[in-house]
Amino acid sequence: MHHNRFNAELSSDSANDFSVNEGEYASLEQTLGQVVMEILQGGMAVNRPSICTKLLARLSESTTPDQEKHHKELISLLFGREK
């Protein structure tokens, strides 16, 4: 049986599973998980356009070259383009 509703209580607990200690960078999988959680919490469908929109927003908010590179890598993976 499929459930079409997202459980907000589970999402807040699950979001904490992705936290990273200060000074450490999240893995690509962790960041993608955070993005998916944000999309679900917003009540949106998880699909390529919604993931891309979130990643582009994160890219524009990047404050370090490492963060920028990290988000660009995820965007490249999303479109199947590897360096």
Q: Give the model's pLDDT for residue 25.
A: 66
Place of tokens 């990643």: 55
18 pLDDT above the threshold of 90: no
Per-residue pLDDT reduced to its tens digit, 24-68: 568 999 999 999 999 999 999 999 999 999 999 999 999 999 999
CB 41 within 8 A of CB 61: no
The CA distances from residue 74 to 9, 20, 66, in Å, are 27, 17, 13
Q: Which of 40, 43, 73 is nearest to 58 (CA)?
A: 73
* 4/52: higher pLDDT: 52
Q: Give the model's pLDDT for residue 81.
A: 64
